[in-house]
Amino acid sequence: MTFTAQQIALLINAKIEGDETAAVGSFGKIEEAQNGQLAFLANPKYEEYLYTTKASVIIVNESLELKETVNATLLRVPDAYAAFAGLLSKYQEIVTQQLSGIQEPSFIAKTAQLGEQIFIAAFAYLSENVSIGNNVKIFAGAFVGNNVKIGNNSIIHAGVKIYDDCIIGNNVIIHSGTVVGSDGFGFAPLADGTFKKIPQIGNVIIEDNVEIGANSTIDRATMGSTIIKAGTKLDNLIQIAHNVEVGNNTIIAAQSGISGSTKLGNNVLVGGQVGIVGHITIADGTKINAQSGVTKSIKETNTSVTGSPAYDYTASLRSQVAARNLPDLEKRVKELEKLVQQLLADKD
């Protein structure tokens, strides 16, 4: 598929600077793009490539002031990064919309309810009483358990496993290898030192517009539901334990883990490799720095924390400054000790 600069400009509401008939058929990084490709420039660090790239069309910020002549056609928008992301989304929609029908071999239970314009890839397995919305894509090797509901326009990538009774909303994307609804980690210690498994009879609810990265695990609740609320984005390799609630529009980076029954508020930002203990609450707007360990509730909204155990980010920066000054402070203390000893000697 090829598109002209004029067609792309209409999609992203851009102002054209250059040849509006310039055509592109693929995307490229600005430092590597070739003729016939579209690139974008949002980070000033890459501006030097604007004047040397072979890209045919480039999306740039409307505030950008050129220092040299540019050979490519420019599409000026208020936010180049957001416009490029939106364009990629539209392109992906066009590609995925071409997929439709049910491939063989696949298994679909007779009690399953299927929406319109769906795609079921080969080797997918849809269990009893599954409900699939319109325009859903389920790729090869995916397993959908009994009574699972999947909303409209959702994409279940290859190898995803969704256990019984889980509910997936509209416009949800779940990437390969992720497991939704596996048993929560619940074991009762017995007098003889062994452990008895506590049955996990709840489910997982994933609300609308959520995206979950590859090889993540979201455990079903012991009772009730583990809930990922609307607009939340989870990276790869994330563990969400039983009965956790993750608020709206929260971001969690890779290799983070949240222990059971913890509740994250709305618009929380969690860095990579963060560990959060169970049965606590994290207030709306909290920012948790990478590799932090959160051991108690954060009650004040829009707080930034870091470290293990995690504490106020600004206080942490002051502590780091103090720590860096310790060698100099030690030197000054020793000089003062010498001075005191000299004064005492003179006095004697």
Catalytically annotated residues: 242
Q: What are phi and psi of 328, to 5 degrees?
A: -65, -40
Give the angle 175-177-182 at the CA atoms, nearest 5°: 110
Beta-carbon count within 10 A of 17 CB: 17
Please say whether the dihedral angle defined by the alpha carbons of residues 7, 12, 15 and 16, taken in this order, is positive or negative: negative
For 85, 134, 136, 188, the CA distances from 220, given in Å and listed in that order, are: 33, 25, 23, 17
- Which parts of 159-241 fold into alpha helices (H)? none
Cβ pair 75, 6 in contact under 8 A: no
* Amino acid identity, position 63: S
Element (H, E) at 182: strand 179-182
What is the phi-psi region of residue 261: left when phi exceeds 0, alpha when psi lies from -120 to 50, beta otherwise? left
Distance (Å, whole) CA 280 – CA 276: 8
Distance (Å, whole) CA 304 – CA 307: 11
* Amino acid identity, position 318: R
Cβ pair 289, 304 in contact under 8 A: yes
